[in-house]
Chain A
Amino acid sequence: MSEFRVRTMADMMAAGEQADILFWVGCAGSFDERAQKITKAVAKILHAAGLKFAILGTEESCTGDPAKRAGNEFLFQMLAMQNIATLQAYEVKKIVTACPHCFNTLKNEYPELGGNFEVLHHTTLINQLLQEGKISIQGGAFKGQRITYHDSCYLGRSNNIYEAPRDIILKLDAALVEMKRSKANGLCCGAGGAQMFKEAETGKKEVNIERADDMMESNANIVAAACPFCMTMLRDGVKHHNKEQDMEVKDIAELVANAIDL
């Protein structure tokens, strides 16, 4: 793999170039150590596919999703309008993001505030790149593995994206096994709706532990995720069951990057 440098929109503009697509990294992808690995995998895939992409770098800020879900519409709209101004200044047309929450907000909630962009989740884009042959998976890095896919609420129920991540897993030459609750019936990881940032209310169990039970039952050795927040919750669930030796949680992008040896 040749070394490359991830460029910012500012770099590109200074060089008089225009990016084909903006990679919206998101807060988790930028700061969370585990999620940074997902970010890097996505960047490598975009580079390998020959896409001219850029990030906003320090000019990116939170889309406002958790504020909106927590009822702080002021804060949400302030962040959203600033982001829209930045995106418009760089004449961004197309965005890819590895975070379903950013994806949902950018795609569905920015248009009413004047931000109209073509927004893709990385699983959709990667699936397209595979179909178009811009990247291809050779060899069976995952042959004989049992992979289950955990639907992110903000991709699945919220935006009806169920198939792209599964299509990718099938191309990995692995066995795709479904958990008892999947697709439209999938159980939340417990992070959404700003729950990630607070303690759970009193109850019998944490939501991510309930979900981890489904994962254990599936007997998969890899749990594929497509959201950095699900990643945190599901990994905690695996830890809770002391199954870190038998079960890995990996983002779809990481699986693909691994399979094409990036």
Chain B
Amino acid sequence: MQEEKNMLAQFLFLALSGVATYFFAKNLGKIRRNILLGRDVDLSDNKALRWKTMLKVAFGQTKMAARPVPFILHFIVYAGFILINIEVLEILIDGIFGTHRALSFLGSIYNMAIGFFEILAFGVLLACVVFLARRYVLKLARFQSPELKGFANQDAATILFVEIILMAALLKMNAADQILQAHGNEHYLKAGSFPISSWLIVPIFEGLNLSDATLILIERTAWWFHIIGIFIFMNYLPFSKHFHVILAFPNTYYSNLKAKGELNNMASVTQEVKLMLDPSATTPEGYQAPTSFGVKEVTDLTWKNLMDAYSCTECGRCTSSCPQNQTGKLLSPRKIMMDTRDRLEEVGKNIDANGGTFVPDNKNLHSYISEEELWACNTCNACVEACPININPMEIIVEMRRYKVMEESAAPSSINNMFSNMENNQAPWQFSPMDRANWTQDLNS
């Protein structure tokens, strides 16, 4: 009877992991497909520096350190996420083989690790409580922006709440386990050390004077709750800003390695300008005049821009350092990234719904991002500098301006005046080019 029950549990566990992995892989595939809808850009150069950047920025979280409080809190959650996964590995083994604490043969190392995980789990729990408080009690400015209304806000709260109950389940499980160990229950061999649950939860259970059967039920329920929670969490990731736990790594690997001030050169324009400046120039064999300039739709962005959008954690460091946003303008670099992701998701769903081809829906990226936002940007790179995982909202803004100017001639009139001054007087102001060196006439005025 007990054996049958164990087999059933093992079967259930395998089936659950299979389903969870299947859907996770499927949604990962979709995101990959969506990212690859972007224009190609060659970022295969400089591998050594790319690895170094990833190790420093993603693993080492160096850019988070600019704000010490969230840096420490986030580091605890991050370390917890990575290290507690070692314990999840054990849960997987136990689940598949019906064992209990399969790695406990490691002896004192195992005990130390379990003890350390408990401390971490408790740290994660506390950090998440503080995170919730920062968002919903202290109401930090960068979490109050209009773009966070609705799903984004709910998403943040969901994740923090789930993390808190997952960590609580882990501690509860350990508490029941150690009482059963002390009672000498044969299935619960002596293993692990429990520096947190031993004083936080054990006294409660002992006070309630629970029977072994109840304790086993608590322990098993917490175990299942924890692992099912992890499966749900994993499958929620692709729909959430928390996908950064995966994409932060490739996204920093593919960081821009050039000077931040350099905007990309439009090779398609270069050929056209050469023809314009030199009428005798000939076009290279097979030359095709470009069909459009700049970014109208998400698919005109590069795959790196699109990866940026899926990597964004909506932390708002970009927006809170943007000079225009700080002075009350509509522009918010975080919103640029969120809009890009939302539109890309919409395009992806359209493709899925129409058997693999995109059916025009009378919308494009400009339906999400207004001219008022685009024209406010100072191209000051504060958003790029602030991003902990090297996302570049500024590039999207400039590319969209390119579309506005070169395809629609829709720049603000003062900008158009500047253009014509530059064309006619070789300066953004209406001065005669012949007066350019007038300053040399009197050096001491």
Contact = CB atoms under 8 A, between A and B. Distances in A.
Interface of A: 3-6, 8, 25, 27, 29-31, 36, 39-40, 43-44, 55, 57-58, 60-62, 64, 66-75, 77-79, 81-82, 104, 107-109, 112-113, 153-154, 157-160, 184-185, 187-188, 190-207, 209-211
B276 interface: yes
A225 B444 CA distance: 21
Give 7 nearest A-B pairs by CB, closest first: A158-B261, A204-B328, A61-B426, A71-B401, A193-B379, A203-B328, A108-B262
Contacts of B329: 200-203
B381 A153 contact: yes
B103 to A, nearest CB: 44
14 contacts: A6-B437, A31-B427, A31-B436, A58-B434, A66-B422, A77-B266, A153-B380, A157-B380, A185-B321, A193-B377, A197-B414, A198-B412, A199-B412, A200-B324
B140 interface: no
Given A185-B66, A193-B377, A77 B273 contact: yes
A108 B437 CA distance: 26
Given A57-B440, A70-B419, A184-B385, 4 more contacts: A55-B440, A74-B406, A77-B266, A198-B418
B423 interface: yes
Contacts of A81: 273-274, 277
A2 B262 CA distance: 40
Contacts of A36: 439
Which among A68, A185, A201 has the highest number of chain B CB atoms within 10 Å? A201
B46 interface: no
B429 A27 contact: yes
A210 B422 contact: no
A188 B323 contact: yes
Nearest to A80: B273
A194 B418 contact: yes
Contacts of A61: 426-427, 433
Contacts of B77: none
Contacts of B405: 70-72
A154 B372 CA distance: 23
B123 interface: no
B439 A210 contact: no
A74 B331 CA distance: 26
B259 interface: yes
Contact of A62 (B259, B272, B427): B427
A206 B327 contact: yes
A245 to B, nearest CB: 23
B265 A158 contact: no
A57 B434 CA distance: 9
B402 A197 contact: no
Contact of A70 (B277, B331, B401): B401
A61 B421 CA distance: 11
Q: Secondary structure at chain A's binding surface: helix, strand, loop or mixed?
A: helix
A198 B415 CA distance: 6
Nearest to B326: A210
Contacts of B375: 198, 201
Given A27-B429, A157-B382, A200-B376, A75 B419 contact: yes
A18 B136 CA distance: 67
B270 interface: yes
Most central of B66, B277, B294 by chain A CB within 10 Å: B277
Interface in B366-419: 372, 375-382, 384-385, 398, 400-406, 411-412, 414-415, 417-419
B270 to A, nearest CB: 6
A58 B328 contact: no
Contacts of A159: 259-261
B411 A203 contact: no
Nearest to B437: A57
Contacts of A204: 327-328
Interface string B250-289: 0000000011111101100110111011000000000000
Contacts of B259: 104, 107-108, 158-160
**B400, B433, B434, B443 interface centre (most CB from chain A within 10 Å):** B443
Nearest to B426: A61
A109 B406 CA distance: 19
B163 to A, nearest CB: 30
Q: In this complex, which of B263, B294, B323, B426 has the most chain A Cβ atoms within 10 angstroms of its Cβ? A: B323
B389 to A, nearest CB: 16
Contact of A112 (B265, B328, B444): B265
Contacts of A194: 415, 418
Contacts of B427: 27, 30-31, 61-62
B18 interface: no
A4 B440 CA distance: 10
B439 A71 contact: no
A36 B431 CA distance: 14
Contact of A69 (B270, B272, B379, B426): B379
A190 B378 contact: yes
A69 B398 contact: yes
Interface in B339-383: 372, 375-382
A75 B276 CA distance: 11
Q: Which of A40, A55, A153 has the most CB of B within 10 A?
A: A153
Contact of B372 (A30, A71, A201): A201
A11 to B, nearest CB: 11
